[in-house]
């Protein structure tokens, strides 16, 4: 370890900062406790929030701790190419959902994404989506809770149980008190805290390695020493001609289609966790602007979350990323005898090494904020889908509104309890979690084909959508089962049906599995739709593009118009990609 970079312990100032942050988060919930009078208040914020608030919440709900830590880790592994997950892998889809899909989500008055599927298609398609989504949100908040508890234990020696229970209790309290409004308000606060907690980390880190040019020189030297092209860490597009020429191990087609189209559109355009934020907006224009407003900070977030990982790799000469521990103690070595780094500790290690007391408390509060915003996002989406799409549909249809408001609160408690249980399952049986996440990936991969056909091709039928989704999910499982990333053994990594193709990297395999699933869903949906009876046009008004009048924009100035925002964002995106090509 480089001299002068020893980690510091926490002092009273750090604890005070974290404590004050907790107090404010709870205080927001407390202030809103009387505002939750109907189920619409609790689940959709009464559709009353301005676009800048829903926009920042849209971004923040996705910015969980796993995202912050995972992007730092990928930054250390793949360098600036990790930005693809933000640029090509998020921004175009965010523009698409805002400009073209929000008119149907918001305009149809559906209260959730599964409910839109019910309106557009049929009950079974909604049920498939609602059940898989509800299970997924609970497990993903469980997994991130586990990751958080384990990290706090490792970094600060805090008890795993205490970290998990306290953070869960805080999220539970503020959602119970103030529903979605509370979650969204806190997401906005957490957004600013994350920015103010991580920006100085990048500033101090860059200062330490001699600025961007210093970082570039150090990373080039490292890349050459490892036998890669010198621009491997500092160029996003160079070497994408072949999987063997870049660190991610994919080629441009797999990246653009797999990540940029299938996975990105599948998440940003169909996931209720993010779409719910836009549904809470006060008007159609605000709902459409929500993802567009989020897209601008999203574009520059790589500098906030990816750069710390890249800096951690070279700071102080040899970097500060600790090695993974081998089962028998000592650093873990790979097959070639090289030390295996624990990349997930890249960003936390930067916090611990670069910040003095004071700033350290702020950085940890930012980390906790990212965890809480991600968890609250999952839980508010879960309680809504549970109450509206499952409980109201299958358990009790015609109760009064107060009953559903009460059920929503119960679902919040149960959802968090299940998430805590999932965190302990994750701690005890890592394989089960890995398997579940794999299944979720299969279910998610084909989703966008269903929504796309549903919104833009009026001939699509409910049977087509349902069988398309099912076959797309199966296709993902089959593709994954027939392929394997290089160096892996058959099992949870794939190849369980025999190995037909080997990918350079797991990422390459994931992208191609997604492409396969999407294409299958797309084709099967069309075929089954052609063979089944379509719904009459008059039933599809407001649900399908060709049958819905364009939403009139009430924007006063041209710069408030969604289309203008979209074009500006695209131009900025292009410029960023050219700079870091």
Partner 1 sequence: MSATGDLDVRVPIGALFSLLGVMLTVYGYLEPASSGPAFTKGGQINMWWGLVMLVFGVLMLLVARPAREKVAR
Does position 305 bind partner 1 by CB under 8 A?
Answer: no
Cβ proximity to partner 1: between 31 and 502 the closer is 31
At closest approach, how far in Å is the CB of 156 from partner 1?
16
Distance (Å) of CA 457 to CA 101, 311, 534 = 13, 48, 11
> What is the C-alpha to C-alpha distance for residues 237 and 247, in angstroms, rounded to an integer?
11
Does position 475 bind partner 1 by CB under 8 A?
Answer: no
At closest approach, how far in Å is the CB of 376 from partner 1?
14
Does position 429 bind partner 1 by CB under 8 A?
Answer: no
Does position 40 bind partner 1 by CB under 8 A?
Answer: yes
Distance (Å) of CA 50 to CA 270, 287, 291 = 22, 9, 13
Interface with partner 1 (CB under 8 A), residue from 78, 87, 133, 185? 185
Radius of gyration of the chain (CA): 23
Name residue, tokens 């009387």: 34
Does position 192 bind partner 1 by CB under 8 A?
Answer: yes
At closest approach, how far in Å is the CB of 361 from partner 1?
9
Does position 179 bind partner 1 by CB under 8 A?
Answer: yes
Interface with partner 1 (CB under 8 A), residue from 1, 15, 19, 27? 27
Long-range contacts of 147-150 (CB under 8 A, 24+ apart): 147/65, 147/66, 147/69, 148/65, 148/368, 148/371, 149/423, 149/427, 150/427
Phi and psi, residue 168, nearest 5°: -65, -40
**Residues in contact with partner 1, total (CB under 8 A)?**
49
> What is the C-alpha to C-alpha distance for residues 359 and 197, in angstroms, rounded to an integer?
8
Kindly state the DSSP code that residue 504 receives in the 8-state scheme.
S
Per CB under 8 A, the segment of 82-90, 180-188, 270-278, 400-408 that binds partner 1 is 180-188
Question: Cα–Cα–Cα angle for 566, 60, 574, nearest 5°?
Answer: 30
Interface with partner 1 (CB under 8 A), residue from 159, 161, 207, 554? 207
Name residue, tokens 């091709």: 457
At closest approach, how far in Å is the CB of 364 from partner 1?
13
Does position 405 bind partner 1 by CB under 8 A?
Answer: no
Name residue, tokens 């909604």: 126
Q: Please, what is the angle between helix 346-354 and helix 65-78, to 10°?
A: 100
Does position 24 bind partner 1 by CB under 8 A?
Answer: yes
SS3 549: coil
Does position 347 bind partner 1 by CB under 8 A?
Answer: no
Interface with partner 1 (CB under 8 A), residue from 102, 168, 274, 354? 354
- For the purposes of burial, counting CB atoms within 10 Å of the CB of 572, is it exposed (0-12), middle (13-18) or buried (19 or more)? middle
At closest approach, how far in Å is the CB of 185 from partner 1?
5
Does position 204 bind partner 1 by CB under 8 A?
Answer: yes
Cβ proximity to partner 1: between 17 and 127 the closer is 17
Interface with partner 1 (CB under 8 A), residue from 4, 327, 337, 552? 4
The binding site for partner 1 (CB under 8 A) comprises 4-6, 8, 13, 16-17, 20-21, 24, 27-28, 31-37, 40-41, 44-46, 48-49, 53, 178-181, 185, 188-189, 192-193, 196, 200, 204, 207-208, 353-359, 362
């Amino acid at each position: 370890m480089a001299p002068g970079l020893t980690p510091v312990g926490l002092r009273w100032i750090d604890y005070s900062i974290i404590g004050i942050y907790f107090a404010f988060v709870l205080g927001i919930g407390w202030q809103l406790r009387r505002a939750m009078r109907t189920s619409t208040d609790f689940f959709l914020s009464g559709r009353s929030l301005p676009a800048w608030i829903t926009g920042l919440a849209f971004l923040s709900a996705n910015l969980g701790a796993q995202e912050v830590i995972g992007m730092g880790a990928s930054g250390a592994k793949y360098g600036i190419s990790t930005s693809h997950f933000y640029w090509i892998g998020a921004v175009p889809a965010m523009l698409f959902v805002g400009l073209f899909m929000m008119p149907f989500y918001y305009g149809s008055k559906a209260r959730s994404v599964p409910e839109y599927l019910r309106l557009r298609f049929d009950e079974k398609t909604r049920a498939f989506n609602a059940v898989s989504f509800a299970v997924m949100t609970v497990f993903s908040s469980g997994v991130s809770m586990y990751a958080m508890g384990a990290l706090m234990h490792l970094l600060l020696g805090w008890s795993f149980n205490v970290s998990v229970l306290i953070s869960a209790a805080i999220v539970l309290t503020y959602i119970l008190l103030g529903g979605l409004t509370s979650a969204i308000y806190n997401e906005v606060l957490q957004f600013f805290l994350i920015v103010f907690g991580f920006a100085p980390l990048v500033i101090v880190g860059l200062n330490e390695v001699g600025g961007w040019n210093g970082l570039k020189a150090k990373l080039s030297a490292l890349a050459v020493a490892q036998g890669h092209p010198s621009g491997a860490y500092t160029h996003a597009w160079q070497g994408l001609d072949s999987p063997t020429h870049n660190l991610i191990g994919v080629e441009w087609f797999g990246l653009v289609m797999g990540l940029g189209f299938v996975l990105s559109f599948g998440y940003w355009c169909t996931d209720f966790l993010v779409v719910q934020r836009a549904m809470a907006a006060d008007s159609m224009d605000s709902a459409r602007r929500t993802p567009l407003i989020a897209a601008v900070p999203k574009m520059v977030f790589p500098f906030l979350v990816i750069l710390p990982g890249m800096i951690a790799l070279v700071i102080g000469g040899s970097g500060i990323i600790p090695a993974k521990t081998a089962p028998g103690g000592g650093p873990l070595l790979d097959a070639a005898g090289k030390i295996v780094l624990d990349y997930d500790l890249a960003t936390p290690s930067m916090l611990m090494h670069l910040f003095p007391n004071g700033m350290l408390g702020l950085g940890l509060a930012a980390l906790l904020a990212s965890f809480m915003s991600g968890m609250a996002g999952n839980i508010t989406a879960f309680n809504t889908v549970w109450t509206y799409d499952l409980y109201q549909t299958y358990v009790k249809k015609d109760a009064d509104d107060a009953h559903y408001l009460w059920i929503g609160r119960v679902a919040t408690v149960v959802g968090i309890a299940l998430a805590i249980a999932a965190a302990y399952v994750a701690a005890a049986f890592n394989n089960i979690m890995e398997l579940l996440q794999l299944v979720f990936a299969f279910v998610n991969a084909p989703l966008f084909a269903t929504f796309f056909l549903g919104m833009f091709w009026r001939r699509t039928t409910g049977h087509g959508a349902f069988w398309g989704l099912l076959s797309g999910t199966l296709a993902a499982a089959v593709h994954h089962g027939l392929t394997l990333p290089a160096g892996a053994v058959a099992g949870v990594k794939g190849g369980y049906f025999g190995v037909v193709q080997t990918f350079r990297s797991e990422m390459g395999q994931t992208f191609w599995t997604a492409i396969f699933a999407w294409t299958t869903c797309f084709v099967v949906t069309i075929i089954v739709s052609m063979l089944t009876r379509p719904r009459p046009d008059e039933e599809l008004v407001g649900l399908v593009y060709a049958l819905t009048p364009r939403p009139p924009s009430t924007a006063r100035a041209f710069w408030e118009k969604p289309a203008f925002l979209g074009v500006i964002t695209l131009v900025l995106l292009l410029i960023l990609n050219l700079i870091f090509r």
